[in-house]
Amino acid sequence: MSPRFLPRLRFRIKTWPRRALILTDTPRPNCPKCEGDGGIGYDYGDPETGEYAGTDWEPCTCWHENRRWALLPLPRRPWRTPPGYSNEPPF
C-alpha cells in the first residue's frame, strides 16, 4: 500500500449518544482539491429570489468521513455544582 492511501489517524472524543474515545481519519493536509478542509463547499441561491440560501458540502476523496473506530467508553461526568459556589444569579 502506498503512503498516500494510508489513513491519517487522530484521537477524538465522541459525546453523543455516550462519551467515548475514538480513532478517526483526517483529511490530507496538502490535498490540492480541498486544501486540507476535507471537502468542498458550494454556495447556492433561492431559485425565486436569487438570494443566498445555504451551502452544500461535498466530501473530498482524500479521506473517508465515516472511518472511525471506537476504542474506549468514557465514564460520565457528574453535572453537579462544585462546593463553595452559589446558585444565586450575579445581578
CA dist 75 and 3 (Å) reads 36
Quickly tell me which residue has 490540492 as its cell. Answer: 32
Region label for 90, one of left (φ > 0), alpha (ψ between -120 and 50) or beta (otherwise): alpha
Q: What is the Rg, in whole angstroms, of the alpha carbon atoms belonging to the chain?
A: 21
Q: What is the pLDDT of residues 4-26, one digit of tens each?
A: 555 677 788 877 787 888 888 88
Q: What is the pLDDT of residues 72-85, one digit of tens each?
A: 777 776 666 666 76
Residue 51 has pLDDT above 80, yes or no: yes
Residue 58 has pLDDT above 50, yes or no: yes
